[in-house]
A = this chain, B = another copy of it.
Amino acid sequence: MSSDATPKLIMAVPKGRILKEVMPLFKACGILPEADFEDEDSRKLLFSTNHPELDIIRVRAFDVATFVAYGGAQLGVVGSDAIEEFNYTELYSPLDLGIGKCRLSVAVPKADLETDAPDKWSHIRVATKYPSLTARHFAKRGVQAECIKLNGAMEIAPALGLVRRIVDLVSSGATLKANGLVEVETILEVSSRLIVNRSAFKTRPGEVERWVESFRNAVHSKG
């Protein structure tokens, strides 16, 4: 592809739940992906759009940030949770899209609340999908957090004796409640952002800025 005179712009978006919230923004920006883009069962990764110069890749949420940071994509849509976890210097995040809202919280078994106040913690073990973000958060308030990386199912970890604390995304709170857990601290209010590869922003400013502006207008007119 590097031999093309005008290489395409690639936008990376996350599979799953967030994609449904992205579609109205695409529509407002005049981006129409090819037909099977919303088919979650399709194993296809790369999709064309009605704009010949813009293609879309549909990858895992955590991989969106990596694809954009390393220049595999120039633009992306990803949660602030992934942005903060990876902390890539090559990512520029100019726009809050106001979708994919949830929070990253510390939760503990309800039974532990009375005997184990969070403000007394000094060294803790935590199960989380966000080991880097979690360790940094606790370090800031003088707590040493040994983080055990799990990709899912962390809400069951306390009952099985793996850990007594978890850090997980919380939306309605129903999952925590069903597992006898309660939130004791919010680490991050999460929403999806438009992200841009910094080099692309310098080398292809016209194209990139046009899309950022288009998404900015879409968010504001939706607001």
Contacts and interface: CB of A to CB of B under 8 A. Distances in A.
Interface of A: 1-2, 10, 45-46, 57, 59-60, 62-63, 66-67, 70-73, 148-153, 155-157, 159-163
A199 to B, nearest CB: 11
Chain A binding site: helix, strand, loop or mixed by DSSP? loop
Contacts of A152: 59-60, 63
26 contacts: A1-B161, A10-B160, A45-B153, A46-B156, A46-B159, A57-B153, A57-B156, A59-B150, A59-B152, A60-B151, A60-B152, A62-B151, A63-B150, A63-B152, A63-B153, A66-B150, A67-B150, A67-B157, A67-B160, A70-B148, A70-B162, A70-B163, A71-B161, A71-B162, A72-B156, A72-B161
Given A45-B155, A57-B160, A63-B153, 17 more contacts: A1-B161, A10-B160, A45-B153, A45-B156, A46-B156, A57-B153, A57-B156, A60-B152, A60-B153, A63-B152, A66-B149, A67-B150, A67-B160, A70-B163, A71-B162, A72-B156, A72-B161
